[in-house]
Chains A and B, each alone.
Chain A
Amino acid sequence: MYRYDEFDHAFVAGRVEQFRDQVARRRSGELTEDAFKPLRLMNGVYLQLHAYMLRIAIPYGTLSSRQMRMLAHIGRKYDRGYGHFTTRQNIQFNWPKLSEIPDALAELAGVEMHALQTSGNCIRNVTADHFAGAAADEAADPRPYAEILRQWSSVHPEFSFLPRKFKIAVTGAERDRAAIQVHDIGLHLKKNDRGEIGFSVYVGGGQGRTPMVAKKIRDFLPEADLLSYTTAIMRVYNLHGRRDNKYKARIKILVHETGAEELARQVEAEFAELRNGELTLPAQDIAAIAAYFAPPSLPPRAEGWASLAQWKKADAEFARWVGQNVQPHKHPDYGMVTISLKAIGGIPGDATSEQMEAVADIAEEYAFDEIRVSHEQNLILPHVALADLEPVYRGLLAAGLATANAGLITDIIACPGLDYCALANARSIPVAQEISTRFGAAARQTEIGELKIKISGCINACGHHHVGHIGLLGVEKKGEELYQITLGGSGDENTSIGEIIGRGFAPEKVTDAVEVIVDTYLGLRLSASETFLAAYRRVGPQPFKQALYGNAAEAA
């Protein structure tokens, strides 16, 4: 993985000391709150309902064991012993004291981590496929390009005060596991007919109050032109993006109002000016960054096949975990392990410091010291020999991290919601907990199959409800929580925005409503292999409306 060079170390350390000084000046009154707020946000510090919140960047979701242990330490020393992994592959701590945050940032800098650009109207943490570098279906590892974008975008003077925040995601596979079509820029890394590396470029996706699926404006951009072309997009956005209305300031609105064709023309015109200039990426520079991400040397471990068969035969729970949480690796003797942070009835994305340390230990012993955070709020061990799956499982089981539900109905994405978030209108976590508990039986989850529930506590959609197969949006109506249900959303290579199915449900009714939807699906699917999403796309909303609202369905 990427290691800081001297510049990186000096830059991050310098920013920590800057922030320490800013905090001191704020506390002494030398800085007003109005002056300080944008400064703290640039350092990942929010003020939530109960306390400050510190959001730490995990670039493209990649962590070493050492870094994970530091996160555990931060949780224990500066917080309340746990952290929350987010849908942007970051981690948030909910209870730090402002006065102690500079010390926490200094400790993070010691393991090459920071909280820069995790807030503010700048280019945020660049996210990537959590199976990058390990997936069998990958054309190339997207992380070197994400790292190049990270370096280029860090305190970029031209793009530090954009009309609004800006999110970039990169995938290197046809199967999109990074939800690139709901990002401001989505990059699909691929090879052309000549075997050259390049990108399909998508622009203007996003969720929030105006969900939009990104438009493809370039089918193949040579890798050398990545920064030139991205700069061209940013310049068009910076120039024409709306600054008069916060709710219309994202690039998706510009794409919508300008039209994708015209916007692409403007980007191409800007690109023509920039192309072959100083932003062109030399092949040796790409190779130098890519070298940091070279896959570990994976020795043949063919003995794992026989061992795995025996272990599965002896332990049905282990077999179920392998079937659900282990994906094929590009090396046949290895697998990619999803560590579910979705214990039945648990809090999606939360992990205790002890659990983080357990993952760090397991990764160090069995997984080449590599951990990923997925945008689905789980952790990943990307390289585990089949021969080591059993001890890995035992270790995870002991830490309460062996829930066999990756991709199933209890693998729920949920934002912090009104239990923590100052922007939320309704709670998300208790809703997720109740749904998880209702559907937690293993046989029932298996019968239902792949089904992604995503819950947001407000229209900002941090819980990605718009792209949930079943999406739940919490709103406040007459002082009470109400949950609006959307169906048919998807955040993969066939991205779609869910459709509102009808009037909302009170908190005590929403799990029943989800159960009605699930039972309706089970009743109408053509076979057990027809997923919820496929069935919904075949039949549309009407059977679900009928089941939920009966004769009032027409009016719903």
Chain B
Amino acid sequence: MADKVLTANRLCDGVSVWLDAAGNWNECLQAAFVARHKEAVEALEATGRQAFADNKVVDVNVVDVEEVEGVLQPLRMRERIRAQGPTITYAAGYAGLTVTDRPAA
């Protein structure tokens, strides 16, 4: 079984978040709690359902990750982009518009 983390988008601003070990929704994937066995995944899913029901987050999903040299990396590109922000190199005229106000993944 691949390692898994719980991710969602915060209801009030839509920002991508991951559930950390303290049960908080964190904007940084690297802070995420990693589930490595079935029971832990079920606990993540239950937490996600509750957080959705509590109107804290939307679009809740458990996603596969791997740890490479201590860095969490989602297996799917979609999730990597969600974690790291747009991959775009901004052209002249767009300097400063890269995603600067979110923590690095």
Whether A418 pairs with B81 at a CB distance below 8 angstroms is: yes
Query: Which residues of A (58-101) have their CB < 8 Å from a CB of B?
Result: 80-82, 96-99
Mask, B41-84, CB within 8 Å of A = 1, is 00000000000101100110000000000000001111001100
| Distance of A485 Cα from B63 Cα, bound (Å) | 31
Whether B77 pairs with A479 at a CB distance below 8 angstroms is: yes
| Distance of A48 Cα from B78 Cα, bound (Å) | 11
Whether B14 pairs with A97 at a CB distance below 8 angstroms is: yes
Contact residues in A for B99 (Cβ distance below 8 Å): 50, 80
Q: What 6 A-B pairs have minimum CB-CB distances, sorted nearest first?
A: A346-B91, A52-B14, A400-B93, A97-B13, A419-B86, A51-B14
Whether B89 pairs with A433 at a CB distance below 8 angstroms is: yes
The residue in A48, A50, A52, A399 that gathers the most chain B C-beta atoms within 10 A of its C-beta is A50
By the criterion of a CB under 8 Å from any partner CB, how many residues of chain B are at the interface? 31
B16 at the interface (CB under 8 A from A): yes
Please name 24 pairs of A and B residues whose Cβ atoms are closer than 8 Å in the assembled complex, sorted by A.
A26-B11, A29-B54, A48-B14, A50-B16, A50-B85, A51-B15, A81-B97, A96-B14, A97-B12, A98-B12, A99-B12, A345-B92, A347-B91, A352-B93, A355-B93, A418-B81, A424-B78, A427-B87, A429-B86, A430-B87, A479-B76, A479-B77, A480-B77, A481-B77
| Distance of A399 Cα from B87 Cα, bound (Å) | 24
| Distance of A49 Cα from B52 Cα, bound (Å) | 17
A129 at the interface (CB under 8 A from B): no
| Distance of A521 Cα from B71 Cα, bound (Å) | 46
A-contacting residues of B (Cβ < 8 Å)?
9, 11-16, 52, 54-55, 58-59, 75-78, 81-82, 85-94, 96-97, 99
| Nearest Cβ on chain A to B74's Cβ, whole angstroms | 11
Contact residues in A for B58 (Cβ distance below 8 Å): 33, 47
Contact residues in B for A352 (Cβ distance below 8 Å): 93-94, 97
Whether B14 pairs with A98 at a CB distance below 8 angstroms is: yes
| Nearest Cβ on chain B to A363's Cβ, whole angstroms | 19
A147 at the interface (CB under 8 A from B): no
B-contacting residues of A (Cβ < 8 Å)?
26-29, 33, 47-52, 80-82, 96-99, 343-347, 350, 352, 355, 399-400, 418-420, 422, 424, 427, 429-430, 433, 476, 479-481
Whether A50 pairs with B82 at a CB distance below 8 angstroms is: yes
Closest B residue to A400 by beta carbon equals B93
Given A26-B11, A47-B58, A419-B88, verify A347-B16 contact (CB < 8 Å).
no
Contact residues in A for B77 (Cβ distance below 8 Å): 418, 476, 479-481
Contact residues in B for A422 (Cβ distance below 8 Å): 59
| Distance of A418 Cα from B93 Cα, bound (Å) | 22
Given A49-B81, A479-B75, verify A98-B88 contact (CB < 8 Å).
no
Contact residues in A for B14 (Cβ distance below 8 Å): 47-48, 50-52, 96-98
| Nearest Cβ on chain B to A440's Cβ, whole angstroms | 11
| Distance of A129 Cα from B61 Cα, bound (Å) | 42
Contact residues in B for A28 (Cβ distance below 8 Å): 55
| Nearest Cβ on chain B to A343's Cβ, whole angstroms | 5
| Distance of A182 Cα from B64 Cα, bound (Å) | 39
Whether A27 pairs with B13 at a CB distance below 8 angstroms is: no
Given A429-B88, A430-B87, verify A49-B16 contact (CB < 8 Å).
yes
The residue in B9, B12, B55, B93 that gathers the most chain A C-beta atoms within 10 A of its C-beta is B93
Contact residues in B for A480 (Cβ distance below 8 Å): 77
Whether A27 pairs with B94 at a CB distance below 8 angstroms is: no
| Nearest Cβ on chain B to A382's Cβ, whole angstroms | 24
Contact residues in A for B78 (Cβ distance below 8 Å): 49, 418, 424
| Distance of A343 Cα from B78 Cα, bound (Å) | 27
Given A26-B55, A29-B55, verify A52-B13 contact (CB < 8 Å).
yes
Whether A80 pairs with B12 at a CB distance below 8 angstroms is: no
Contact residues in B for A50 (Cβ distance below 8 Å): 14-16, 82, 85-86, 99
Q: A29-B54, A98-B11 are in contact. List 17 more A-B contacts (CB 8 A).
A: A26-B55, A47-B58, A50-B14, A50-B15, A50-B99, A51-B14, A51-B15, A343-B91, A345-B91, A350-B94, A352-B93, A400-B92, A418-B77, A419-B86, A429-B88, A430-B88, A479-B76
